Chain A
Amino acid sequence: MEKWEGWLKIRYESELDQDFAGEIASVPGADKLFTCIQCGTCSGMCPLSPFMDYTPRQIIAMIRAGFKGEVLSSYTTWLCASCYSCTVECPKDIKLTDIMYAAKRLAIREGAYPKRFPIPVLANEFFKSVEDTGRSNEGRVLIKLYLKTKPLNMLKQATLGLKLMLRGRFSLKKEQVQGRDGLHRMMKFLEKEHMVKTKANSIAQKEAAV
Chain B
Amino acid sequence: MSYIYYPGCSLKGTGRAYEESLLAVFKALELELEELHDWNCCGATSYMSVSELKAFALCARNFALAEKQAKKSGTTDLVVPCAACYLGLNKAKKYLDQYPDIRTKVDQALATANLSYNDNIRIRHPLDVLVNDIKREDITAKVKRPLNGLNVACYYGCQIVRPYAEFDDQENPQSMNVLVRALGAATVDWPLKTRCCGGSLTGTVQSVGQQLSYFLLREAIRRGADVIVTACPLCQFNLECYQNEMSGRFDAPVHIPVLYFTQLMGIALGIGDRELALQRLFVPFKPKAIMRQVAGGANVGN
- Candidates B41, B52, B113; contact of A136 at CB < 8 Å: B41
- Is B4 positioned at the interface, with any CB of A under 8 Å from its CB? no
Residues of A within 8 A of B162 (CB): 83-85, 87-88
Residues of B within 8 A of A87 (CB): 162-163
- Is B109 positioned at the interface, with any CB of A under 8 Å from its CB? yes
Q: What's the Cα separation between A43 and B211 when bound, in Å? A: 18
Size category, B interface: 35 or more
- Within A165-190, which residues are at the interface with B (CB < 8 Å)? 167-171, 175, 177-179, 181-183, 185-190
Binds B, one of A17-25, A57-65, A66-74, A100-108: A100-108
Residues of B within 8 A of A188 (CB): 112
Total A-B pairs, Cβ < 8 A: 183
CB B189 to nearest CB in A, in angstroms, measures 20
B204 x A84 contact (CB < 8 A): no
Residues of B within 8 A of A185 (CB): 112-113
CB B140 to nearest CB in A, in angstroms, measures 32
The size of the chain A interface, using a CB distance under 8 A, is 63
Q: What's the Cα separation between A181 and B57 when bound, in Å? A: 15
Contact with A along B79-96 (1 / 0, CB 8 A): 000000001000000010
CB B229 to nearest CB in A, in angstroms, measures 18
- Is A195 positioned at the interface, with any CB of B under 8 Å from its CB? yes
- Is A36 positioned at the interface, with any CB of B under 8 Å from its CB? no
- Is A112 positioned at the interface, with any CB of B under 8 Å from its CB? no
Prevailing SS type, chain B contact patch: helix
- Is A126 positioned at the interface, with any CB of B under 8 Å from its CB? yes
Q: What's the Cα separation between A138 and B39 when bound, in Å? A: 17
A175 x B196 contact (CB < 8 A): no
B196 x A47 contact (CB < 8 A): yes
A135 x B41 contact (CB < 8 A): yes
- Candidates A167, A177, A193; contact of B53 at CB < 8 Å: A193
Residues of B within 8 A of A102 (CB): 52
From B114, B196, B241, residue with most partner A Cβ within 10 Å: B196
A187 x B205 contact (CB < 8 A): no
Residues of A within 8 A of B203 (CB): 118, 122, 142, 145
Binds A, one of B97-105, B128-136, B146-154: B97-105
Residues of B within 8 A of A138 (CB): 9-10, 13-14
A164 x B46 contact (CB < 8 A): no
Residues in B lying within 8 Å of A, measured CB to CB = 9-10, 12-17, 38-41, 43-54, 57-58, 61, 87, 95, 98-99, 101-102, 105, 108-110, 112-115, 158-159, 162-163, 170-171, 195-196, 198-201, 203-205, 208, 211-212, 241, 279-282
Give me the 6 closest cross-chain CB pairs, A-B, nearest first: A182-B113, A83-B158, A126-B46, A83-B196, A118-B204, A81-B199
Residues in A lying within 8 Å of B, measured CB to CB = 1, 27-29, 47-48, 51, 79, 81-85, 87-88, 97, 101-102, 104-105, 108, 118-120, 122-124, 126-127, 130-131, 134-139, 142, 145, 160, 163-164, 167-171, 175, 177-179, 181-183, 185-190, 193-195
Further contacts, 6 of them, CB under 8 A, given A47-B196, A119-B200, A123-B46: A81-B45, A126-B46, A127-B51, A167-B281, A177-B39, A194-B51
